[in-house]
Amino acid sequence: MGLVLYFKGTRYVNNTKGLADDIGSKLGGTVSNAKGKGYKVEIPNGNKSITVRVMEAGSGGRNEPYYRVSIDGKGSLTLDGKISNDRSLTHIDITDDALKQIDIMIKAYKGK
């Protein structure tokens, strides 16, 4: 995957609940409150569910709202859909393109 640049806007950066709800609606997930300041979206995926955490600024000591896509028992995804334990690659700042990014990440992970 080539370099893709995304710019911060206001649609999701200031509305983490809206992003979580849109993820749940588009990807067939269930939205609930996460530990800390944010939301968790559980997306069915056979016996290894996909969890998207959408966290507000200040959560985990971060200055900006972010999201993380995790595969149960495997780890978290980078923007190109690869499993990684590197937080700098898996804790991704929220932009107006976050929903599209998450969809692309999950499809890349699944090989679609």
pLDDT 10s digits, 28-49:
999 999 988 899 999 999 888 9
Return d(Cα 109, Cα 60) in angstroms, integer. Answer: 25
For 56-73, how does the pLDDT look when each residue is reduced to its tens digit (9 = 90+)?
877 667 788 999 999 998
Pair of tokens at residue 8: 């911060």
Return d(Cα 12, Cα 23) in angstroms, integer. Answer: 11
The residue type at 86: D
DSSP strands (E only) in the chain: 30-33, 38-43, 50-55, 66-71, 75-77, 83-84, 92-93
pTM of structure? 0.85
pLDDT at 62 (0 to 100): 76
Which residue from 79, 72, 84, 82 is spatially nearest to 103, judged by alpha carbons?
79
